[in-house]
């Protein structure tokens, strides 16, 4: 059994060394990008890049059924294209999903498919990007979320979904409701676009004053979804008017009760704005391959990390720290290295408080989160590189 595991590991290392580092090219267009959707002609003849989204396994959910449904999740391969003009940038993502799950306003246990595009508010230091799972203290992100919602009656015609009639209250409205529903169907809004500024899971603040200037749409095509986002190149929250920008994508699978951190996630990916200069340093950081020896790193990790972390799905879940079973999929080399050298630089914000009530992932010191993970900066730098190389191999295969 042990021998088999080593062989798999070796194959994994080779595969990741061969995988081309993906850079998404945003091409400059003359089209108006204010209200782009997945049917817009701007996507015609544009090149789509393959991206891989990994199951986010950081937090053990407090939901037995959802955990069972997601126990053996594989990675998802999606396709992304990007375009920009003088004031806007737009993205289209296509991802496979065999079932169409839609948000229903009245049901709390029904989850929908959806996607999000995430931007780093600050990326001038490419080795200190925000935490990939919705930012972290002092390193905010902007997130645009879209999922298909059931049509809800919206009386003002302004997409103001706060004023709605719950069509499930048939006991209150009786047959009249059926007639009413038909006549208002034309007025219904299926839109669920939300934008947030976030410094970590559970600290999301919705931008409601329209100052984010974004537009997002989603639609189900054959066996998968197509979603678009267009937004200002520059606003109060981010400045994307640069040669290279870091962007991350997430998708949720409603059929697997996906919501919040139960999702599929890319690492920070490099989007290159064709024709604009600068950004080589960021590009290098986002496409960096590990330098160390993963086989050596595996031994070091077994001796130093397994008391707190689950490293592969064969290990028993160990909730003293986040599960690292997919960390190689959604973390960059620099992020993993920083986690080891300075655990408190980014403190993974959310965890299952019920799992180890006596053992928190962080303590509050003078209002700042301080990680309970020991600092490994005492390790020889070669060994740090080896551990980083091993952690980069920890990721699910593509479905």
Q: Kindly state the smallest distance separating residue 68's Cβ from ligand HEC, in Å.
A: 22
Is the CB of residue 390 less than 8 Å from the CB of residue 355? Answer: no
The verdict on 339 binding ligand HEC (CB under 6 A) reads yes
The verdict on 247 binding ligand HEC (CB under 6 A) reads no
The verdict on 362 binding ligand HEC (CB under 6 A) reads yes
d(CA 37, CA 195): 17
The verdict on 343 binding ligand HEC (CB under 6 A) reads yes
The verdict on 376 binding ligand HEC (CB under 6 A) reads yes
- DSSP secondary structure of 18-77: HSPPPEEEEEE--S--TT--TT-GGGTTPPPEEEEEEEP-SS--S-HHHHHHTTTPPBEE
Q: Which of 92, 240, 348, 394 binds ligand HEC (CB under 6 A)?
A: 348
Q: H or E stretch including 300? A: helix 294-304
If the CB atoms of residues 112 and 332 are measured against ligand HEC, the closer one turns out to be 332
The verdict on 58 binding ligand HEC (CB under 6 A) reads yes
Give the number of other Cβ atoms within 10 Å of residue 203's Cβ.
16
**C-alpha angle 294-125-140 in degrees, rounded to nearest 5:** 100
Is the CB of residue 347 less than 8 Å from the CB of residue 373? Answer: no
Where b means 16+ CB within 10 Å and e means fewer, 330-340 reads bbbbbbbbbbb
If the CB atoms of residues 292 and 322 are measured against ligand HEC, the closer one turns out to be 322
Candidates 24-32, 169-177, 247-255, 340-348; binding stretch for ligand HEC (CB under 6 A): 340-348
The verdict on 120 binding ligand HEC (CB under 6 A) reads no
- Considering only residues 32 through 51, tell me which ones interact with ligand HEC, judged by CB under 6 A: none
CA 397 to the chain's CA centroid: 17
If the CB atoms of residues 115 and 362 are measured against ligand HEC, the closer one turns out to be 362
- Considering only residues 278 through 317, tell me which ones interact with ligand HEC, judged by CB under 6 A: 301, 304-305, 307-309
The verdict on 225 binding ligand HEC (CB under 6 A) reads no
Look at strands 114-120 and 244-252 and give their pairing: antiparallel
Please give the residue ranges that form the binding site for ligand HEC (CB under 6 A).
Answer: 58, 301, 304-305, 307-309, 320-322, 324, 327, 336, 339-340, 343, 346-348, 361-362, 371-374, 376, 387, 391
């Amino acid at each position: 059994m042990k021998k088999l595991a080593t062989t798999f590991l070796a194959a994994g290392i080779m595969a990741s060394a061969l995988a081309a580092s993906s850079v998404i090219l945003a091409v400059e267009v003359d089209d108006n990008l204010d209200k782009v959707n997945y049917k817009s002609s701007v996507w015609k003849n544009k090149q789509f890049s393959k991206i891989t989204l990994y199951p986010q396994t950081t937090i053990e959910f407090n939901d037995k059924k959802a955990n069972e449904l997601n126990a053996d999740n594989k990675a998802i391969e999606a396709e992304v294209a990007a375009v920009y003009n003088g004031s806007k940038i737009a993205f289209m993502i296509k991802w496979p999903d065999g079932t169409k799950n839609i948000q229903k306003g009245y049901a709390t246990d029904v989850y929908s498919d959806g996607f999000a595009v995430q931007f780093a508010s600050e990326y001038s230091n490419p080795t200190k990007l925000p935490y990939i799972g919705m930012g972290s203290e002092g390193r905010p992100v902007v997130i645009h979320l879209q999922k298909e919602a059931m049509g809800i009656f919206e009386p003002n015609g302004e997409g103001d979904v706060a004023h709605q009639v719950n069509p499930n209250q048939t006991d209150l409205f009786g047959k009249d409701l059926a007639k009413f529903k038909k006549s208002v169907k034309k007025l219904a809004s299926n839109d669920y676009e939300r934008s947030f500024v976030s410094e970590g899971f559970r600290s999301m603040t919705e931008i409601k004053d329209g100052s984010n200037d974004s537009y997002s749409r989603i639609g189900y095509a054959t066996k998968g979804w197509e979603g678009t986002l267009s937004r200002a190149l520059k606003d109060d929250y981010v400045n994307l008017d640069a040669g290279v920008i870091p962007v991350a994508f997430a998708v949720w699978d409603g059929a697997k009760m996906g919501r919040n951190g139960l999702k599929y996630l890319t690492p920070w990916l490099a989007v290159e704005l064709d024709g604009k200069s600068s950004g080589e340093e960021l590009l290098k950081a986002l496409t960096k391959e590990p330098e160390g020896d993963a086989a050596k790193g595996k031994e070091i990790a077994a001796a130093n990390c397994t008391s707190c972390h689950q490293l592969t799905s064969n290990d028993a879940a160990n909730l003293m720290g986040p599960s690292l079973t997919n960390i190689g999929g959604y973390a960059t080399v620099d992020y993993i290295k920083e986690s080891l050298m300075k655990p408190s630089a980014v403190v993974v914000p959310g965890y299952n408080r019920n799992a180890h009530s006596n053992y928190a992932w962080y303590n509050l010191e003078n209002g700042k989160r301080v990680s309970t993970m020991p600092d490994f900066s005492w390790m020889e730098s070669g060994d740090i590189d080896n551990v980083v190389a091993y952690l980069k191999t920890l990721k699910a295969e593509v479905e």
